[in-house]
Structure 1
Amino acid sequence: MTSKTKNILGWVLSGLAALLLAASATDKISGSSHALQIASLISLTGGTYRVLGIIELLSVILFLYPRTGILGTLLLSSYLGGAIATHLQHQQDVLFPAAFEAVIWIAAVIRFPELTRRIKSIGTPGTFL
């Protein structure tokens, strides 16, 4: 695969994930009836759910901006890990947040070669993250 193809694929995956996550964040921030219904199902107040939406949106912005992309990857990974834990706690399907997690990491590995190098060097004597 050429570097141009990798670059396009990385940005397409990033854009798709960011678009869906930004829509989710906007729904939470706006306090729509759908968002409030979901918040009540998982025992959260509307205000707390709005804060989660703001965190989600900021993480997406950091993920899309190339200089802060790795930080955004880690924040989105943490956010989605929390979503998976919440889904498990409330006996809901974890496929959706887990799929997002996978897409975020695939896009990050394609877009940020230094991240891949650091992951590969874990456990190698004499290397530091």
Structure 2
Amino acid sequence: MAMNKKIKNIVGWTLSGIVLLLLTASATDKISGSEHALAMTRSFGISPDTYRSLGIIELISAVLFMIPRTGLPGLLLLSSYLGGAIATHLQHGQSICFPAAIEALVWITAVIRFPELSMRIVNKGNLSPI
């Protein structure tokens, strides 16, 4: 059953807000150099300055994802960023549940918000709407 446009819009923006809150909290932790962030830098073997830069990249990507005109480039940046987070967690024997769940949430949100994306993915290139 297809969602009507109003419901799809509400769900898409609600999920976008959740994504933004999660990623902003994560980025703020990295940028501020909190004790948790410093512990993560030590566990990953990353310098605090590099971790702070990752937080800035994360925040910029999340903001780009929120803006309708830059949402698709933001999606690609977030996918790359979260893929790197998953790889880093795997390399250091840590759980990938959190970054993988965020990645899934980002893609679910993108498919709802960007109809052209869902047309390409779900219909394998056939441009008829879902």
How many residues align structurally? 124
Identity of aligned residues (%): 65
Structure 2 residues without counterparts, runs of 5 or longer: none
Task: Identify if the C-alpha distance between structure 1 residues 123 and 113 changes in structure 2 by more than 3 Å, giving closer, same or farther.
Answer: closer
TM-score relative to the length of structure 2? 0.90
Distance, in Å, in 1 between the alignment partners of 2:81 and 2:40 is 17
Greater relative CO, 1 or 2 (CA 8 Å, sep 6+): 1
The C-alpha deviation readout for 1:45-70, integer Å capped at 9, x for no partner, is: 00000000000000000000000001
Which residue of the partner structure matches residue 92 of structure 1? 94
**Is residue 61 of structure 2 the alignment partner of residue 59 of structure 1?**
yes
CA distance in 1, matches of 2:118, 2:7: 17
Whichever residue aligns with residue 34 of structure 1, its letter is H
Structure 2 counterpart of 1:98, one-letter code: A
The TM-score with structure 1 as length reference comes to 0.91
Partners in 2 of 1:121 and 1:4 — Cα distance? 22
Residues 119 and 125, structure 2, Cα contact 8 Å, conserved in 1: no
Q: Which runs of 5+ in 1 are unaligned?
A: 125-129
